[in-house]
């Protein structure tokens, strides 16, 4: 069986060594030494100013929205995982969908300004499949209209733009370290901001507002993560360069095998180095997409229709975004994980070739 993705499992003895330390200290949560060490090592590895390790990527989004005190309408993308839009809705704001670019799959910057109203407080965009949005242009639009910017960078560990981590852009970037991601802590996420005041506010918010054992600074929530998850993050960080290199080789192998077929591929943003965390293909129509998904499944190969359906079609959301609906109906992400073999990729490509000819 070939799944669309698979978590990276580091050597158990290396993970166990971190756990032994936690056992010896009898300290497994509440911002322990492993959490602090992981945050320091991630800041150093990524070349960013500040990072808070959170329970998951969704609570990171919710903390970001709350910390920026966003109200009213937030412009966002309909082509992303549901957590992006549901976090906006959950925090009492209204998601306003702007359609996507049909080649990068990111929010179309040309269409943002026409969606801004006197109720708009922010832009929350997703770097889809680790491909950066037009961050400089979105930043200009935000400054011109006095808006905040949050980037859902859940797919972006290792992605750079102009040589710097993509986490450096926006008022706040959020990350996901879920087990399906290229870098994971089993469950986990992060908020990242170079604004020290904003960062301190999020630090309070992550821990119920605690400012010491008996003092509180504003409202907060439990957004913390544990020593056990930090231990996995520290162990996996030793292997991330190897994982990124392997993904790039697998990505290029797919591109070579599928060259010349009637398929569309995501266009990387110029001046970006993507992390090759996904391999999406766009087929000619939804019927062919469904046929290929079924044929792969009959061979115990499970591709996935990220991100289907387009979020504007959910029962609590709305919007007219024809390009998002069109791409969502025709896209399949092919299996991609660190130990996927070239022979397995070749088999997948043979099935694709046979199905669409």
* Mean pLDDT score, 215-240: 97
| pLDDT cut 70: percent of the chain above it | 100
Q: What is the mean pLDDT of residues 200-220?
A: 96
Q: What does the pLDDT average to over 37-64?
A: 98
With CA atoms as reference, report the closest residue to 277 among 166, 168, 158: 158
pLDDT at 221 over 90: yes
The pLDDT confidence band at residue 8, using thresholds 50, 70 and 90, is very high
What pLDDT, on a 0 to 100 scale, did the predictor assign at position 202? 98
Report, as an integer, the average pLDDT of 331-354. Answer: 97
pLDDT number for residue 356: 85
pLDDT digits (tens, 9 = 90+) for 77-86: 999 999 999 9
Question: What integer pLDDT is reported at residue 129 of this predicted model?
Answer: 97
> 131 is written with which tokens?
């491909």
Please give the pLDDT value at position 143.
98
Task: Report the pLDDT averaged over residues 27-38.
Answer: 97
**How far is it, in rounded angstroms, from Cα 347 to Cα 16?**
37
* Confidence grade of residue 316 (pLDDT, cut at 50, 70, 90): very high
With helix as H, strand as E and coil as C, how does 58-97 read?
HHHHHHHHHHCCCCCEEEECCCCCHHHHHHHHHCCCEEEE
pLDDT at 341: 97
Burial class (CB in 10 A: 0-12, 13-18, 19+), 189: buried
Q: Where are the alpha helices (DSSP H) in the chain?
A: 12-25, 33-46, 57-67, 82-90, 135-144, 196-206, 227-237, 240-258, 286-298, 322-330, 342-356
pLDDT tens digit sequence for 162-189: 999 999 999 999 999 999 999 999 999 9
* Mean pLDDT along residues 259-270: 94
What does the pLDDT read at residue 87? 97
User: Looking at residues 202-213, what average pLDDT do you find?
Assistant: 96
Residue 357: which pLDDT band, with cuts at 50, 70 and 90? confident
pTM above 0.85, yes or no: yes
Inter-residue contact 21 to 230 (CB < 8 Å): no
User: Residue 54: left (phi > 0), alpha (psi -120 to 50), or beta?
Assistant: beta
Phi and psi based region of residue 212 (left: phi greater than 0; alpha: psi -120 to 50; beta: remaining): left
pLDDT of the residue at 338:
94
**Residues 126-167 pLDDT 10s:** 999 999 999 999 999 999 999 999 999 999 999 999 999 999
Considering the chain, what is the average pLDDT of its residues?
A: 97
Q: pLDDT band at 317, cuts 50/70/90? A: very high
Mean predicted confidence (pLDDT) in 314-342: 97
Residue 333 has a pLDDT of 98
């Amino acid at each position: 069986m070939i799944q669309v993705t698979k978590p990276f499992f580091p050597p158990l003895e290396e993970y166990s060594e971190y756990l032994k330390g936690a056992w010896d200290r009898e300290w497994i949560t509440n911002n322990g030494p492993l959490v602090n060490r992981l945050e320091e090592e991630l800041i150093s590895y990524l070349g960013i100013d500040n990072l808070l390790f959170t329970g998951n990527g969704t609570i990171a989004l919710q903390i970001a929205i709350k910390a920026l005190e966003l109200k009213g309408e937030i412009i966002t993308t309909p082509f992303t995982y549901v957590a992006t839009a549901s976090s906006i809705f959950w925090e009492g704001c209204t998601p306003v969908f702007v359609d996507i670019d049909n080649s990068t799959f990111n929010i179309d910057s040309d269409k943002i300004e026409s969606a801004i109203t006197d109720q708009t407080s922010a832009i929350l965009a997703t770097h889809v499949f680790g491909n950066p949005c037009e961050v400089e242009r979105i930043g200009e639009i935000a400054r011109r209209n006095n808006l905040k910017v949050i980037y859902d960078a859940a797919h972006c560990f290792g992605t750079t733009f102009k040589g710097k981590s993509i986490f450096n852009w926006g008022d706040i970037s959020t990350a996901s370290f879920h087990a399906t991601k290229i870098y994971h802590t089993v469950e986990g996420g992060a908020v990242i901001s170079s604004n020290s005041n904003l960062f301190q506010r999020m630090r309070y918010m992550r821990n119920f507002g605690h400012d010491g054992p008996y003092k509180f600074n504003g409202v907060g929530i439990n957004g913390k993560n544990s020593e056990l998850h930090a231990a996995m993050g520290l162990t996996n960080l030793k292997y991330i360069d190897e994982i990124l290199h392997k993904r790039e080789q697998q990505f290029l192998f797919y591109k070579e095998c599928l060259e010349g077929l009637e398929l569309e591929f995501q266009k990387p943003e110029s001046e970006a180095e993507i992390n090759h965390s996904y391999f999406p293909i766009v087929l000619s129509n939804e019927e062919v997409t469904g046929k290929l998904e079924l044929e792969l499944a009959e061979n115990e190969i499970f591709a996935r229709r990220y991100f289907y359906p387009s979020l504007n079609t959910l029962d609590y959301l709305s919007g007219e975004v024809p390009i998002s609906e069109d791409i969502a109906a025709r896209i399949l992400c092919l299996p991609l994980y660190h130990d996927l073999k070239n022979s397995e990729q070749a088999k997948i490509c043979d099935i694709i070739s046979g199905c669409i000819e």
